[in-house]
Structure 1
Amino acid sequence: MPSLSALLLSAGTSVLAALHVQAGTYNLYQNNVGADFLQNFVWETTANPSGGAVEYTTQSAALAANLSYAYGDTFVMRVDDTTTLSASATGRQSVRIKSNEQYTTHAVVFDIRHMPQGCGTWPAIWEVDDTVGVANGELDIMEGVNNVSPSYTTLHTGGSCTMPANRTERGSTATQSSGNNGCSVSSPYSSTYGPDFNANGGGWYVVERTNQAISVWFWSRQDSTVPATVSGGGSTINTASWTSPPIAYFPSSSTCNLSANMMSHNIIINTMLCGSWAGSRYSASGCPSTCIDYVNANPAAFSNAYWDFAALRIYL
C-alpha cells in the first residue's frame, strides 16, 4: 500500500469541482454474505513490505487456523492472537483477500460490524490492480492505523494528477504533493475507524466509481439517515437520490482525467501490521515499545484485530 506521508491537493478552483456527478441507479451484481467470500475472493500471500510485521496466509491455512471463517451472514478474517514470535520471525499471521473479478464503473456497499483495532494494526479496504501497483491507479476506500481516528480515503495515480480544492465533500483534504503519494481525505467522523467504529457496532462504507467522479460515503450503525437500500441490501441502489454528500469526492477534470488514470481494479481487504504508516506513526500514537517488538511479543494484544463483514454487495 502506498505511503500516506505526503498528500495531494491543488489550490485551483473550478465550477465543475462543486458539482457532485453521479451515475445514478445500479443493479446488484454480486452479493457476498458469509461463505460467498470463500468463493469470490482469493487469499493473497504477498511478501512482507519493508518495516512490516505480517505473514499473509493461504485460504486453506487461514481456515485451518481459524484466521478466516464464515457462517450464516458472518464472514471473519483476523490476525493470529496466540503465537509469541521470535525476533527473526517474518511476522504475525494475517489475512489479505482480493476479489476474483476486476471492476471499472461500479458501486460497492461494505456492511461491516467490526474492523481491526490495536497498536500496530493497519486495516484497509482498497481497489487496485496489484499486479502493476499504482500504475493503473488506486483508491484506498478506508484505512487507518494504531487506534487513531478517523479513517482516510486516498486516490493514487501513476503520474501527476491534481484535485480541485472546492469540491463537495464532508472530509478534509490534507497538504499537497503529487503522483504516487496521493490525494488523501480525512473523514470528519471518529466513528469511521477503530474503537469508535466498533463501539457503534460498525457501519456502512459505500464507494461509487464512474469516469466522471469517485465518491465514498459512510454511515454509522447508529445513523438513522442511512439509505434503506444500503442498510437493507437492496437489489438496486440510486446514489443520485442520496442527499448526504460523500466524505470523499474525486471529480474527473482537465487536471485529473479519471478514465485515463483509473483502470480495472480488484477489491482488496487486508490487515497489515507495522509497515510504512503504522510503523512510522507508532510512537506518536501512544503505543508502547517498538512496533515490530510489540507485534512479536504480545499475541493477546491482537484479539480485537479482526474484520467482521455482514455483507459486501457489488452493483453494476
Structure 2
Amino acid sequence: MVYVNNVGQAIMQVDRWTTLAPGQARNSVRIESYAVFNKGLFILDVEAAPWGCGVWPAWWTVGPNWPWGGEIDILEGVHDNVHNAMTFHTQPGCSLPTPNPKTSLGPNSTGWIESTDCNAFANSNSGCQTVDTSQASYGTQFNVLKGGVFAMMWADDGIRIWFFHRAAIPEDLQENAPQPNNWGTPVAFLHNTLCPTSKIFYDHQMIFDITFCGDWAGTSYISSGCPGTCSQRVMTPSNFANASWTINSLQVYRSPQISGASLALPRPRSLMYLSAGLILLLLYI
C-alpha cells in the first residue's frame, strides 16, 4: 500500500482488493514524521489525492497533547467534495476573523470562512475552517488537472495556506527557491491578533492519512448523497479505486528568519527536502 512507482512518485493507498465481511475494518495508511516542527514553510507537490464516498484523507500537522499544541489541516476533504477545507483545531482562545457578510471571504484570505471559533471543545469540534473557492482544489477534478502545490507558512505573525493549480505554480517554487512575498493573498490565514499562534501551536508532527467514515465522513455520509451506508461502502474494494495519494515532493524549510509577510528565502539556513524516494523512509511510522 506504500511504495515508489517507476517514475519516482510516492504512492500511499488503501486496501482495494479485499472484500470484507460486515463490520470488518479495511486496511489503510497513516504516515507520521519522526521530526517535530515549530514554525517553518511546508510545501507539498501532490499529483493526486484520495477521494470518493466514505473516504476522508488529510495532510496535516498536530501537537503532542491534542488539542493543546494545536492542529493544522492543510489538505482535507470527504466523499465527492470539490473544495479543499483548511481547518485549525485548538484549545480555547483562538479564532479566525469575522468574514465579509456578503461574500463570506476573510479580510486577508481568498477562501470562504465557514466557522471562526477554533476551540476543539465547541461546536462539535468543527474548528475554524476556511474553504477554497476553487472547485478543483479537492476531488475528481483536482486529480484530472494533475493536482498542484500546497504551501503552509507557520510564522511569527500567524499561519498562511496557499494552493496553486498545476498550471499556475509560481516559478520560484518550481526552482525550489520559494518567495512567499510573491504569492499574493493566501487562501487561509490565521492571524496572531485573534489567536496567539506562537503559544497555541507547538511541537508538530506531520501526518498523511486515509480514513474511512469517522466523525466527518461517517456523519455526513447520507447527506452527501452517497449510496447505502458508510459501513456497507467499506466492504467493497472497488469503491476505493481513487483512494490513493500520488506525491511528487515534500519540502520543509526551517529558518530563524521566518517572520511572516516579510519572509524571503533565496536559500534557507536549514532545508530538508524530501523527494518521492525519501518520503517513505523519512516519514515512515
Give the TM-score normalised by structure 2: 0.81
Q: Is contact 2:95–2:190 with CA below 8 Å preserved after alignment? A: no
The residue number in structure 2 matching 1:60 is none
Secondary structure class of the residue paired with 2:140: helix
Secondary structure class of the residue paired with 2:67: strand
The residue number in structure 2 matching 1:95 is 29
The residue number in structure 1 matching 2:274 is none
- CA distance in 1 between counterparts of 2:158 and 2:116 reads 20
Mapping of 1:186-197 within 5 angstroms? 186-197=131-142
Residue type matched to 1:213 in 2? G
- CA distance in 2 between counterparts of 1:142 and 1:247 reads 12
Residues 238, 250 of structure 1: CA spacing in aligned structure 2 closer, same or farther, 3 A cutoff?
A: same
- Equivalent in 200, 220, 227 of residue 281 of structure 1: 220
- Show CA shifts across 1:113-159 (max 9, x none): 10111110001011102x42221111111101001120100111112
The residue number in structure 2 matching 1:34 is none
Match status 1:229 vs 2:162: no
Residue type matched to 2:252 in 1? I
User: Deviation at 1:104?
Assistant: 1.3
Residues 74, 172 of structure 1: CA spacing in aligned structure 2 closer, same or farther, 3 A cutoff?
A: same
- Equivalent in 50, 73, 76 of residue 11 of structure 2: 76
Residue type matched to 1:227 in 2? P
User: Deviation at 1:176?
Assistant: 4.3
- CA distance in 2 between counterparts of 1:132 and 1:315 reads 24
Q: Is contact 2:16–2:237 with CA below 8 Å preserved after alignment? A: yes
User: Deviation at 1:178?
Assistant: 4.9
Moved over 6 A (4+): none
Residues 68, 79 of structure 1: CA spacing in aligned structure 2 closer, same or farther, 3 A cutoff?
A: same
Secondary structure class of the residue paired with 1:126: strand
Mapping of 1:58-77 within 5 angstroms? 67-71=1-5, 72-77=7-12
User: Deviation at 1:169?
Assistant: 0.4
User: Deviation at 1:261?
Assistant: 0.4
- CA distance in 2 between counterparts of 1:81 and 1:306 reads 10
- Equivalent in 251, 261, 270 of residue 191 of structure 2: 251
Identity of aligned residues (%): 32
Match status 1:119 vs 2:53: yes
Secondary structure class of the residue paired with 2:70: strand
Q: Is contact 1:125–1:140 with CA below 8 Å preserved after alignment? A: yes
The residue number in structure 2 matching 1:261 is 200
Residues 233, 120 of structure 1: CA spacing in aligned structure 2 closer, same or farther, 3 A cutoff?
A: farther
- CA distance in 2 between counterparts of 1:273 and 1:177 reads 26
The residue number in structure 1 matching 2:180 is 239
Give the TM-score normalised by structure 1: 0.73
The residue number in structure 2 matching 1:52 is none
Secondary structure class of the residue paired with 2:211: strand
Secondary structure class of the residue paired with 1:313: strand
Q: Is contact 2:115–2:130 with CA below 8 Å preserved after alignment? A: no
User: Deviation at 1:177?
Assistant: 4.0
- CA distance in 1 between counterparts of 2:178 and 2:116 reads 34
The residue number in structure 2 matching 1:8 is none
Q: Is contact 2:116–2:129 with CA below 8 Å preserved after alignment? A: no
- CA distance in 2 between counterparts of 1:157 and 1:126 reads 14
User: Deviation at 1:160?
Assistant: 2.5
- CA distance in 2 between counterparts of 1:305 and 1:214 reads 28
